[in-house]
Chain A
Amino acid sequence: MTPHTRAEIQRLLKRLANGDRTAIVPSFEVLWPVLRSFSARALGNDADAEDAAQQALMKLYAQVNDFDSSRDSLAWVFAIVTYECRTIRRRRQRKREVMDQGPAAREATDASPEHMLIERDLEAAVLECLAELSGDDAPTILAGIAEDRPRADATFRKRLQRALGRLRLLWRTKHEPH
């Protein structure tokens, strides 16, 4: 970001804080690309970045009346967008945990387009892990999900448990590096 843009943001936010409505459109034109690129870098996912940038923009206009013009405006803007990115990341993490808990918990969440997208991504990741499992592990897990074999079959239950353990390990290695 150029020093000129930074000074422009400072000037526009000061005007907004003073109640100057003519600064709304120019401030949007300067702030939107900044918010958009910051959240894209922070979240990676385009849809999430768009959401975070929009939330941050709305919060910014709701709080700009109390903005202290002696403070650095860019630091203030980044504090807001960082908070929004963190909220979205936390929400995404919670959803992943709900998915891990099984179909009942999954049904409890709303089937919004965002949910469906996350669900599809997760499914693809699980299938990728299943493909990497060796031997009979993948067919055992799929049979367990489809309930092809009776639950009373102790040998199958043990084999399923071991296969799930290996899948969990592979998942952690691939998706939870720390």
Chain B
Amino acid sequence: MNRTEDLIERARTIYERARLLKALRTAAFALPLMLISFGCCRTPSVSIAIAGALALLVTVLVRRGGSPARAVVPGYAAGMVPFAIPLLACPLCASLGIAGVVQLAVAVIGGVASGAIVVYYAAREQEDRTAFVLAGGAVAALAGSLGCVIAGLSGVLAMIVGLAVVTPLAFRGARAT
């Protein structure tokens, strides 16, 4: 191996290492979300599983790069809505003696808002918007699930349904305009 090749190889190794570190740094945001989820929900094992999946997904996306990597931060931002709404609304509903359908409705609203945020960011993207929406939607769904888990598995499913319904519709609308 000559000197130039050696330098390129060293540069490549350093670049890959830096990329992985950046991915791990971004994935670390799943930890505080998991801890908040622990404090509010009855099922820590579910929170751990969701946070683990979120961290893994974020690490893979950021390390890989491209449009899906750029979708991670907007995905986190979009996930904050379905994460925060149930955590605030569900204890209030419980204290008022309202449960069941209202909690599910709150989760669906969170999912819809989340989908709208992902599409808003995707509309600014120049290339590969589909990959952006898919990656951002997945990150938002997992981050939001950490909050919706307070309403149980049905809450998580309701949020995902809300997100999955609104995202393609809004995405199609954004592409048409």
Q: Given the complex of chains A and B, what is the CA–CA distance between A1 and B12 in angstroms?
A: 26
Q: CA–CA, A19 to B18, complex, Å?
A: 11
| A54 close to B (CB within 8 Å) | yes
Assess whether A24 is in contact with B11, with CB atoms less than 8 Å apart: yes
Partner of B8, one of A24, A62, A66: A24
Residue pairs across A and B with CB atoms within 8 Å: the count is: 51
Within 8 A of A (CB), among B1-40: 4, 7-8, 10-12, 14-15, 17-19, 22
Q: Are A61 and B7 within 8 A (Cβ)?
A: no
Question: Which interface class (under 10, 10 to 19, 20 to 34, 35 or more) fits A?
Answer: 10 to 19
A91 CA / B54 CA spacing, docked (Å): 46
Which B residues are CB-close (under 8 A) to A87? Answer: none
Cβ of B14 and Cβ of A20 under 8 Å apart? no
Contact with A along B46-63 (1 / 0, CB 8 A): 000000000000000011
Q: Residues of B contacting A20 with CB < 8 Å?
A: 65-66
Say whether B69 faces chain A, with CB atoms less than 8 Å apart.
Answer: yes
Contacts of A54 in B (CB 8 A): 7
> Would you give the shortest CB distance from A12 to chain B, in whole angstroms?
12
Task: Judge whether B42 is part of the interface by a CB distance below 8 angstroms.
Answer: no
User: A57 contacts the other chain (Cβ, under 8 Å)?
Assistant: yes
* Interface status of A88 (Cβ within 8 A of chain B): no
Contact pick for A61, options B4, B11, B62, CB 8 Å: B11
A57 & B70 in contact (Cβ 8 Å cutoff): no
A65 proximal to B (CB < 8 A): yes
Q: A28-B11, A62-B15 are in contact. Are A18 and B69 (CB under 8 A)?
A: yes
Contact in complex: A19, B69 (CB < 8 Å): yes
- Would you list which residues of chain A between 5 and 31 have a CB under 8 Å from chain B? 16, 18-21, 24-25, 28
Known: A63-B18, A65-B22. A24 touches B65 (CB 8 A): no
Contact A62/B14 with A18-B65, A18-B66, A19-B19 known, Cβ cut-off 8 Å: yes
Interface SS of chain B: helix
Contact flag A19-B11 (CB < 8 Å), given A62-B18, A65-B22, A66-B22: no
Residues of chain A contacted by B15 (CB below 8 angstroms) = 16, 21, 24, 61-62, 64-65
Q: Across the interface, do B65 and A57 meet the contact criterion of CB distance under 8 Å?
A: no
| A58 interfacial contact with B, CB 8 Å | yes
The residues of B that contact A21 with a CB separation of less than 8 Å are 12, 15, 65
Contact B64 A58 (CB under 8 A): no
Q: A19-B65, A24-B8 are in contact. Are A61 and B70 (CB under 8 A)?
A: no
B19 touches A28 (CB 8 A): no
Q: What B residues does A32 contact at CB under 8 A? A: 4, 7
Whether the Cβ atoms of B12 and A24 lie closer than 8 Å is: yes
Q: Tell me the smallest distance from the CB of A116 to a CB of chain B, in Å.
A: 22
Known: A19-B64, A19-B69, A24-B12. A57 touches B22 (CB 8 A): no
Q: Which of B's residues lie within 8 Å of A, judged by CB?
A: 4, 7-8, 10-12, 14-15, 17-19, 22, 62-66, 69-70
Query: Given known contacts A16-B15, A20-B66, A62-B15, what 12 new A-B pairs fall within 8 Å (CB)?
Result: A18-B70, A19-B65, A21-B65, A28-B8, A28-B11, A57-B11, A61-B11, A61-B18, A64-B18, A65-B15, A65-B18, A65-B22
The 4 closest A-B pairs by CB, nearest first: A19-B65, A61-B15, A61-B11, A62-B18
Task: Provide a sorted-by-A list of 5 A–B residue pairs whose CB atoms are within 8 angstroms.
Answer: A21-B15, A28-B8, A62-B14, A64-B15, A65-B18
